[in-house]
């Protein structure tokens, strides 16, 4: 097989993550809108929402499991096979969620099976991002790793837009009763076709030059995960904490905001989904800008500036997101997601650069997905509880605290962008 072109590599990196993020986000949107009433016993709507957000967290707990498993084989046998397997597991779990009967039909089996499939989504996603990032970064020319590294990152806003536009279209086309009865399942079932496209693209790949060179120099590490924790623990911890704010600001301004805006503030579902689709464009704009800036000025200056803005957003979250003025709500969502994209863009290069090639898949994947547990898994649940207990202003303090944690971690990191050997 001939070596793929740079264009084919970047498309494969982008398409796979876009599909995986789409799968992940349709569950996040469904959790905010319908998962609670369908899969849990009748009760207070707020309690059902908390239960739905608890299932949302399960995938984040599963993601490090997938990262360790796929990272092990990705560092030992190659990037290509693991990228194909992770996409198949994620897609199958997503499609089966769309086929799952609700609590009214099978009782407690419904939430139990939902949790199992949500765990499967997490395992598949856990192996996806690290491999996609390495596919791009390990094929990048000198001085352009961060720019190449934005392509898996762009999968996040594109997957989100696709998920939200589909839910928005269903909300317009269907009555609320039809949407809750069967319409919400269609985005999950559509994943089957998308996964087919992703597999077609990825089966044309070859291994990265960096991985082939590492195998020529020495046999692969017997247990890459053990090497990560024994020799690269500091890099793992700092990389994990550096990602916390990106996860927190994203899921607070999407999943929590959607639930809070529709259930508490009373915005129509269609209106708030449209807000989210507009705001995510600002994230899509920030990612390539920050990737270019990270190659030009270094990873740390870009991250520090983005984290400072994220911390400041915590002070205005309550007055803006809690407002009954649509312009203020939309303005906050646009600012928050632009800040998220500015932080998120350089991570496609930074996290792989923290680790040597021989354990890079495992290191980048585990770091990225441990951050998901700390920064994202409980964010909607905690924000929902904080808002109900002490008001929306406490959610802003939560966001500012997350930004402070990440800022401290970035300050302790080396600047990896100047090291051509990485």
Q: Could you give the C-alpha distances from 3 to 134, 142, 204, in angstroms and in order?
A: 16, 19, 9
At residue 376, the 3 state secondary structure works out as helix
Question: How confident is the model over 290-304, as pLDDT tens digits?
Answer: 999 999 999 999 999
Specify if 258 maps to a domain.
Answer: yes
DSSP state of 374: I
User: What angle separates helix 145-173 from helix 269-297, to the nearest 10 degrees?
Assistant: 180
Rg (C-alpha) for the chain, rounded Å, is 20
pLDDT of residue 2: 56
Residues 6+ apart with CB under 8 A from 187: 26, 30, 98, 163, 166, 167, 170
Domain count, the chain: 1
Contact 18, 162 (CB under 8 A): yes
Specify if 419 maps to a domain.
Answer: no
pLDDT of residue 246: 95
Specify if 402 maps to a domain.
Answer: yes
pLDDT of residue 411: 96
Residues 6+ apart with CB under 8 A from 283: 156, 157, 160, 250, 337, 338, 340, 341, 344
Dihedral sign of CA atoms 413, 419, 421, 422 in order: positive
pLDDT of residue 216: 76
Specify if 88 maps to a domain.
Answer: yes
Secondary structure percentages of the chain, helix, strand, coil, to 5: 85, 0, 15
Domain coverage including residue 366: 6-214+223-411
- Which token pair is 265? 């503030």
pLDDT of residue 419: 63
Q: How do the pLDDT tens digits run along the chain, 422 residues long? A: 456 677 778 888 888 788 878 887 888 788 777 877 888 777 655 566 667 777 777 887 888 888 888 888 888 877 777 888 888 888 899 899 999 998 888 888 888 898 889 899 889 888 888 888 888 888 888 889 999 999 999 988 998 888 888 888 888 888 888 988 888 899 999 888 888 888 887 777 676 777 777 777 877 788 889 999 999 999 999 999 999 999 999 989 988 898 888 888 888 888 888 999 899 999 999 999 999 999 999 999 999 999 999 999 999 998 999 888 999 999 999 999 999 999 999 999 999 999 998 899 899 999 998 998 888 878 888 898 898 898 899 999 999 999 999 999 999 999 987 764 45
Alpha carbon dihedral 114, 184, 255, 83, in 10-degree steps, equals 60
Distance, in Å, from the CA atom of 11 to the CA atom of 1, rounded to the nearest integer, reads 18
Phi-psi sector, 207: left (phi>0), alpha (psi -120 to 50), beta: beta
**Token match 């809070």: residue?**
260
pLDDT of residue 44: 55
Q: For residue 33, how far is the Cα from the chain centroid?
A: 19
Specify if 345 maps to a domain.
Answer: yes
Contact 80, 206 (CB under 8 A): yes
- Looking from the CA of 222 toward its CB, the CA atoms found within 13 Å total 0
- Phi, psi values for residue 305, rounded to 5°: -65, -40
Contact 52, 362 (CB under 8 A): no
Specify if 72 maps to a domain.
Answer: yes
Specify if 418 maps to a domain.
Answer: no
Specify if 420 maps to a domain.
Answer: no
- Which token pair is 222? 């017997």
The domain that holds 333 is classified in CATH as 1.20.1250.20
Concatenating the DSSP letter of every residue in 378-417 gives THHHHHHHHHHHH-THHHHHHHHHHHHHHHHHHHHS---T
Distance, in Å, from the CA atom of 143 to the CA atom of 146, rounded to the nearest integer, reads 8
Q: Could you give the C-alpha distances from 118 to 9, 126, 130, 402, in angstroms and in order?
A: 29, 12, 20, 25
- Looking from the CA of 383 toward its CB, the CA atoms found within 13 Å total 38
DSSP state of 232: -
Contact 82, 360 (CB under 8 A): no
pTM, to two decimals: 0.84
């Amino acid at each position: 097989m001939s070596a793929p072109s740079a264009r084919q590599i970047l498309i494969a990196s982008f398409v796979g993550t876009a599909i995986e993020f789409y799968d992940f986000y349709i569950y996040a949107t469904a959790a905010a809108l319908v998962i609670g009433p369908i899969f849990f016993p009748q009760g207070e709507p707020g309690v059902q929402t908390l239960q739905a957000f608890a299932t949302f967290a399960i995938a984040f707990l599963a993601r490090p499991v997938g990262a360790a498993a796929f990272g092990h084989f990705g560092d030992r046998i190659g990037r290509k096979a693991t990228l194909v397997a992770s996409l198949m597991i994620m897609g199958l779990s997503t499609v089966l969620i769309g086929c799952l009967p609700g609590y009214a039909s099978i009782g407690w089996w419904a939430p139990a099976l939902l949790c199992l499939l949500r765990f499967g989504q997490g395992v598949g996603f856990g192996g996806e991002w690290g491999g996609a990032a390495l596919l791009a970064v390990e094929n990048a020319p000198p001085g352009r790793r961060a720019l190449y590294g934005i392509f898996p990152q762009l999968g996040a806003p594109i997957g989100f837009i696709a998920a939200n536009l589909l839910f928005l279209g269903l909300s317009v086309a269907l009555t609320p009763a039809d949407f809750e009865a069967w319409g919400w399942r269609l985005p999950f079932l559509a994943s089957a076709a998308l996964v087919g496209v992703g597999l077609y693209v990825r089966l044309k790949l070859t291994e990265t030059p960096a991985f082939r060179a590492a195998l020529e120099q020495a046999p692969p590490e017997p247990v890459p995960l053990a090497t990560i924790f024994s020799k690269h623990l500091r890099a793992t911890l700092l990389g994990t904490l550096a990602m916390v704010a990106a996860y927190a600001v994203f899921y607070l301004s999407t999943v929590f905001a959607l639930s809070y805006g529709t259930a508490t503030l009373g915005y129509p579902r269609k209106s708030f989904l449209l807000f989210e689709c507009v705001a995510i464009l600002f994230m899509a704009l920030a990612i390539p800008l920050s990737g270019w800036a990270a190659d030009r000025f270094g990873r740390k200056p870009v991250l520090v500036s983005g984290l400072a803005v994220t911390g400041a957003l915590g002070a205005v979250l309550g007055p803006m997101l809690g407002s009954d003025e649509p312009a203020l709500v939309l303005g906050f969502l646009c600012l928050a997601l632009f800040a998220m994209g500015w932080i998120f863009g350089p991570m496609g290069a930074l996290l792989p650069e923290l680790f040597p090639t021989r354990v890079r898949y495992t290191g980048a994947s585990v770091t990225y997905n441990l951050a998901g547990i700390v920064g994202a898994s409980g964010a909607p649940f905690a924000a929902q509880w904080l808002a109900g207990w002490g008001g929306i202003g406490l959610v802003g303090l939560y966001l500012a605290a997350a930004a402070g944690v990440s800022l401290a971690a970035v300050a302790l990191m080396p600047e990896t962008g100047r090291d051509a050997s990485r």
